[in-house]
């Protein structure tokens, strides 16, 4: 049996897992990223948490084949560097060199959304596809595109920033500098912002009874919708309408076999998926023919990034 380490490097946590040939995680460990701090310190913790994951898996570090890293921002797998990550404050970080100071094994690196997409492609909802797109609805909208079994990164290694395609010209400001981006409307953050605006305009909404300590979550609108609240229904309807617009654009661009969506919002299951599919089916360019992209919920949850990263040596 061969073993691999996958590292999911996030702005909040560093998670590592030992993955076997069957795509099973047999040992995990994690530590706080504690940003901002020097990249070399973060890399030291990445190595230490990898060693701990091996210990938890009951295998020696020397028995692993390689390490793979999924990182926010731009990843250069050829040179083993992270040229830029605004979330981590990284600029031209020689991550392979830093890891090799502790663990002398091959190190591969990819954007975190691409790593998660690859995980779904080899072991999750997109398994068996030739071409696939995986979209994560979190703080932002992340996406990974697999074409012919390989991760597509584009000429400058920053391809498939689907969250920063505009779906409403001169719409709300996005953190990227543009206005009206897909991410502004369809991320969990976008849903929360829609909810805040709606309840300010509708103070009698049942959503106000769910809020504790002023905290509004992405699930509050769906909870209100299930309770029959008019405002909740309007928020959810608006959110899914924008999500369908962005996903239709993606399908029209790539025409993948499978498009899977992940993130906490997807815990709503069919309440999200069924109306989303209906809207996309009416808008997608190929609606007049029978062969269309399958839209589904991602299967691996928070493990997608670890599993995908662990097998970057095969890409």
Q: What angle do CA 151, 158, 120 make, to 5 degrees?
A: 35
Reported in sequence order, the residue ranges of the chain that DSSP labels E, i.e. its strands, are 3-9, 13-20, 25-32, 64-71, 74-76, 81-85, 90-93, 107-111, 132-137, 141-147, 150-151, 258-262, 294-297
Residue 201 has pLDDT above 80, yes or no: yes
Give the C-alpha separation, 209 to 131, whole Å: 44
Give the C-alpha separation, 105 to 60, whole Å: 13
pLDDT score at 86: 83
Mean pLDDT of the chain, nearest integer: 94
Q: Work out the number of other CB atoms within 10 angstroms of the CB of residue 169.
A: 8
Give the C-alpha separation, 199 to 294, whole Å: 35
Residue reference for tokens 């691409």: 114
Mean pLDDT of 289-295: 86
DSSP state at residue 266: G
Over residues 23-74, the pLDDT tens digits come to 999 999 999 999 999 999 999 999 999 999 999 999 999 999 999 999 999 9
Q: Kindly state the percentage of the chain with pLDDT values over 90.
A: 86
Give the C-alpha separation, 39 to 94, whole Å: 9
What predicted TM-score, i.e. pTM, was given to this entire model? 0.91
Give the C-alpha separation, 87 to 72, whole Å: 7
Mean pLDDT of 231-254: 97
Residue 237 has pLDDT above 80, yes or no: yes
Give the C-alpha separation, 312 to 44, whole Å: 21
State phi, psi for 38 to the nearest 5 degrees. -60, 145
Location of each CATH 3.30.420.40 domain in the chain: 3-120+303-314, 129-298
Give the C-alpha separation, 143 to 272, whole Å: 18
| Confidence label for 150 from pLDDT (cuts 50, 70 and 90) | very high
pLDDT score at 315: 83
Q: Which CATH class is domain 129-298?
A: alpha beta
Q: What is the CATH number of domain 3-120+303-314?
A: 3.30.420.40
Residue 211 has pLDDT above 90, yes or no: no
Q: Write a three-state SS string for 192-256.
A: HHHHHHHHHHCCCCCHHHHCECCECCCCHHHHHHHCCCHHHHHHHHHHHHHHHHHHHHHHHHHCC
DSSP state at residue 179: B
205 with 198: CB under 8 angstroms? yes
Strand 25-32 and strand 13-20: the pairing is: antiparallel
pLDDT score at 199: 92
Mean pLDDT of 204-209: 91
pLDDT score at 175: 85
State the first-to-last Cα distance of the chain, in angstroms, to the nearest integer: 20
Residue reference for tokens 């020689």: 94
Residue 158 has pLDDT above 90, yes or no: no
pLDDT score at 290: 74
Over residues 132-143, the pLDDT tens digits come to 999 999 888 999
Residue reference for tokens 């009416």: 282
Residue 291 has pLDDT above 80, yes or no: no
Mean pLDDT of 13-17: 97
pLDDT score at 289: 84
Q: What residues contact residue 308 under an 8 Å CB cut-off, 6+ apart?
A: 6, 68, 70, 110, 114, 115, 116, 117, 118, 119, 120, 121, 122
DSSP state at residue 69: E
Residue 292 has pLDDT above 90, yes or no: no
Give the C-alpha separation, 49 to 35, whole Å: 16
Mean pLDDT of 211-226: 89
Among the listed residues 163, 177, 109, 176, the one whose alpha carbon sits nearest the alpha carbon of residue 133:
163
Mean pLDDT of 90-98: 97
């Amino acid at each position: 049996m061969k073993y691999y380490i996958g590292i999911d490097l996030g702005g909040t946590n560093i998670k590592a897992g030992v993955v076997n040939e069957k795509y099973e995680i047999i040992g995990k460990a994690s530590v706080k990223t504690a940003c901002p701090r020097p990249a070399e310190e973060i890399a030291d913790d990445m190595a230490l948490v990898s060693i701990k994951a091996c210990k938890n898996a009951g295998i020696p570090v020397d028995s692993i084949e390689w390490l793979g890293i999924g990182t926010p921002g731009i990843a250069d797998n050829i040179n083993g560097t992270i040229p830029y990550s605004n979330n981590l404050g990284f600029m031209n970080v020689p991550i392979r060199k830093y890891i090799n100071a502790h663990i002398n094994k091959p190190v591969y690196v990819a954007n975190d959304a691409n790593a998660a997409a690859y995980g779904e492609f080899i072991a999750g909802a997109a398994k068996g596809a030739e071409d696939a797109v995986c979209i994560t609805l979190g703080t932002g909208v992340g996406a990974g595109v697999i074409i012919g079994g390989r991760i597509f990164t584009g000429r400058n290694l920053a391809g498939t920033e689907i969250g920063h395609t505009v779906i409403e010209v001169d719409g709300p400001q996005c953190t990227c500098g543009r206005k009206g981006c897909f991410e502004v409307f369809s991320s969990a953050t976008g849903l929360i912002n829609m909810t805040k605006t709606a309840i300010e305009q509708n103070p009698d909404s049942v959503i106000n009874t769910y809020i504790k300590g002023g905290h509004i979550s992405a699930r509050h609108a769906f909870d209100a919708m299930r309770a029959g609240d008019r405002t909740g229904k309007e928020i959810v309807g608006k959110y899914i309408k924008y999500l369908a617009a962005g996903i239709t654009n993606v399908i029209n661009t790539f025409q993948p076999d499978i498009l899977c969506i992940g993130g906490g919002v997807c815990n709503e299951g069919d309440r999200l998926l069924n109306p989303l599919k209906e809207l996309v089916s009416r808008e997608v360019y190929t609606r007049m023919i029978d062969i269309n992209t399958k839209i589904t919920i991602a299967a691996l949850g928070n493990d997608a990034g670890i599993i995908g990263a662990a097998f970057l040596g095969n890409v």
